[in-house]
Amino acid sequence: MVGGGVDDGTVYQLNYGTADVEESIRLLAAIVLNHKARVINLHEILVRFAAQLAGSVLLSVYENERLKFTRQLTMIPERAGDISRRHRITCDVTSDLMTLEMSHSSASEPLNIFDIGMATKVWEPK
């Protein structure tokens, strides 16, 4: 893990191993959607993770920095032998700025995201 010094602008290495922390670290992946200040409609999200024996991911969707909805997505395979877990989420988020965050806070399980797909369209008022 690395961290930045605010005052001196230097990046420091904070730990040197894979299991040298006692508290789990919140892993966060953020995707920001905007397009030339035009209003976008997000109507579907598809996420595929590596399958695991335990664990889940919290998907949070923000509309203009306000929380629109959250979903807890399990990473446990649906069938024995599956190597990935897929989630398809329908939604209705309309904004000129959207943020999708995926967080995972397990010290014993990694987060491996294989694919992320989003169905969007430019919103036109009628």
Domains and CATH numbers, the chain: 24-122 (2.60.120.260)
Show the tokens assigned to 58: 């919290």
Cβ-Cβ contacts under 8 Å for 106 (sequence gap 6 or more): 24, 54, 55
pLDDT tens for the chain, 126 residues long, are 667 666 676 776 666 666 555 655 666 788 999 888 889 999 999 999 999 888 889 999 999 999 999 999 999 999 999 999 999 999 999 999 999 999 886 666 778 899 999 999 998 877
pLDDT for the residue 73: 94
Question: What type of residue is 13?
Answer: Q
Q: Of 112, 105, 94, 101, whose CA–CA distance to 41 is shortest?
A: 94
CB 103 within 8 A of CB 31: no
**Torsion of the alpha carbons at 64, 69, 75 and 78, rounded to the nearest 10:** -130
